[in-house]
């Protein structure tokens, strides 16, 4: 896992008229000029709060330059231009469109794919990939899943649809359920977790669906609110973090191949027709294979009977 490294500096007096890529190579430790150009090209650099994607942009003293170096730069093709970014897009995990009409598109997102642009890059995210399809209007992000989380989410294809869905999310009429596996034995008497996140009210309803000895517990989680990292933070708050959570969790000897969190159910009222739409996504194959291994570890081994050698007298009477 690549830990993001953020940087910020003000253009000095002697930097007047200097190119952005050269300034980055000069002022950011460990960043070569070639890397600086790629970082600019993928959208990881901001000047005075605005994303800048021109390496030759000349700057003035006092302008603020900010950026993030992380996984996006590490995975990017080490070149600039449309061909390089096209190769990056081709390497992105595939996603599955489960429903689409003139107003909305529902997608089953793979783990590792960001939903929208981040501070690291405005390339290779799900909204951009959907918008890049021939004949597709600009996609509007309505709600998000963390990049390592897989599962269902809905995008809007019009401004009116985006407003309607955003309103429904606010009034909590959009149903969202998740499956997760947390560390240890989750308590039977915890059914609702109410713990503020970022100073805002947050509520998650939980139900134990499977126990895997003392190693892990499988949970069904229903969101009442939708705060950033809500399930991950709420699970940690009761002492049972989501397995595979490298940001909020703990390392174990039975970690999954990635974050064990999947958005399994999504239901909402269509913003135009008013029809109730409901979608389900099964527990993913990569996590299922891992879960089967956990189940096998949890099964006690049958004791093998001890066969004592026959005594001499016993042999004689047989």
Phi, psi of 141 (to 5 degrees): -80, 125
Closest CA to 88 of 106, 65, 68, 114: 114
Tell me: do 158 and 261 sit in the same domain.
Answer: yes
- Catalytic entry in 146, 188, 189, 255: 146
Are residue 259 and residue 214 in the same domain, yes or no? Answer: yes
Active-site residue, 146 included: yes
pLDDT reported for residue 302: 42
Instruction: Give the burial string for 275-310 (b: 16+ CB within 10 Å, else e).
Output: eeeebebebbeebeebbeebeeeeeeeeeeeeeeee
What pLDDT does 124 receive?
Answer: 85
Q: Are residues 69 and 123 in the same domain?
A: no
Structural domain including 10 reads 5-78
Q: Tens of pLDDT along the chain (318 residues)? A: 567 899 999 999 999 999 999 999 999 999 999 999 999 999 999 999 999 999 999 999 999 999 999 988 988 999 999 898 888 877 777 899 999 999 999 999 999 899 998 888 888 899 999 998 888 889 999 999 999 999 999 999 999 999 999 999 999 899 999 999 999 999 999 999 999 999 999 999 999 999 999 999 999 999 999 999 999 999 999 999 999 999 999 999 999 999 999 999 999 999 999 999 999 999 999 999 999 999 998 776 444 445 455 444 444 433
Distances (CA, A) of 161 to 106, 185, 271, 278, 297: 13, 42, 5, 17, 48
Q: What is the CATH number of the domain that holds 248?
A: 3.30.2350.10
Where residue 16 sits, what CATH number does that domain have?
Answer: 3.10.290.10
Residue 304 resides in a domain: no
Residues 53 and 196 occupy one common structural domain: no
Q: Which of 22, 44, 78 is the last residue of a domain?
A: 78
Task: Please check whether residues 158 and 50 belong to one and the same domain.
Answer: no
Please report whether residue 265 resides in a domain: yes
Listed in order, strand segments (DSSP E) in 213-275 are 216-223, 261-269
Domain count, the chain: 2
Dump the DSSP string for 263-275.
Answer: EEEEEEE-TTT--
Same domain membership, residue 274 and residue 138: yes
- Does 113 map to a domain? yes
Using the 3D structure, point to which of 48, 78, 108 is the last residue of a domain: 78
Q: Which of 45, 78, 111 is the last residue of a domain?
A: 78
Same domain, 152 and 216: yes
How many other CB atoms sit within 10 Å of the CB of residue 71? 18
Same domain for 135 and 73, yes or no, is no
Q: Tell me the C-alpha distance between 107 and 105, whole Å.
A: 6
The answer to whether residue 318 is domain-embedded is no
Residue 46 lies in a domain: yes
Structure tokens at 243: 């397995």
Instruction: For residues 137 and 61, state if they share a domain.
Output: no
pLDDT at 33: 96
Asked whether residue 123 is assigned to any structural domain, the reply reads yes
User: Can you say whether the dihedral through the CA atoms of 233, 239, 240, 243 is positive or negative?
Assistant: positive
* pTM of the model as a whole: 0.82
Helix (H, G, I), strand (E, B) or coil at 45: strand
Tell me, yes or no, whether 31 and 104 share the same domain: no
Clarify whether residues 74 and 106 are in a common domain.
Answer: no
54 shares its domain with 136: no
CA torsion angle for 71, 73, 77, 83 (degrees, to 10)?
A: 110
């Amino acid at each position: 896992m690549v830990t993001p490294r953020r940087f910020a500096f003000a253009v000095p007096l002697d930097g007047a008229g200097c190119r952005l890529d050269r300034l980055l190579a000069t002022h950011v430790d460990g960043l070569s000029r070639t890397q600086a150009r790629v970082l600019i090209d993928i959208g990881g650099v901001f000047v005075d709060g605005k994303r800048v994607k021109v390496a030759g942009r000349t700057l003035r003293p006092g302008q603020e330059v900010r950026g993030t170096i992380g996984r996006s730069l590490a995975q990017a093709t080490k070149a600039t231009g449309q061909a390089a970014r096209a190769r990056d897009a081709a390497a992105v995990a595939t996603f599955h469109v489960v429903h689409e009409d003139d107003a909305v598109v529902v997608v089953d997102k793979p783990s590792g794919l960001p939903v929208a642009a981040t501070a690291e890059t405005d390339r290779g995210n799900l909204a951009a990939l959907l918008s890049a399809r021939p004949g597709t209007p600009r996609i509007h992000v309505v709600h998000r899943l963390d990049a390592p989380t897989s599962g269902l989410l809905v995008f809007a294809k019009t401004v009116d649809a985006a407003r309607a869905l955003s309103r429904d999310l606010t009034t909590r009429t959009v149903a969202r359920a998740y499956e997760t596996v947390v560390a240890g034995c989750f308590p039977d008497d915890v059914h609702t977790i109410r713990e503020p996140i970022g100073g805002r009210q947050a509520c998650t309803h939980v139900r134990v669906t499977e126990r895997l000895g003392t190693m892990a517990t499988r949970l069904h989680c229903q969101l009442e609110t939708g705060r950033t990292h809500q399930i991950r933070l709420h699970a940690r708050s009761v002492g049972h973090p989501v397995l595979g959570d490298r940001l909020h969790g703990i390392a174990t000897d039975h970690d999954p191949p990635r974050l064990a969190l999947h958005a399994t159910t999504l239901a909402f009222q269509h913003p135009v027709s008013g029809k109730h739409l409901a979608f389900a996504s099964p527990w993913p194959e990569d996590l299922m294979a891992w879960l089967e291994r956990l189940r096998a570890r949890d099964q006690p081994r049958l004791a093998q009977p001890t066969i004592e050698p026959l005594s001499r007298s016993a042999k004689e009477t047989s």
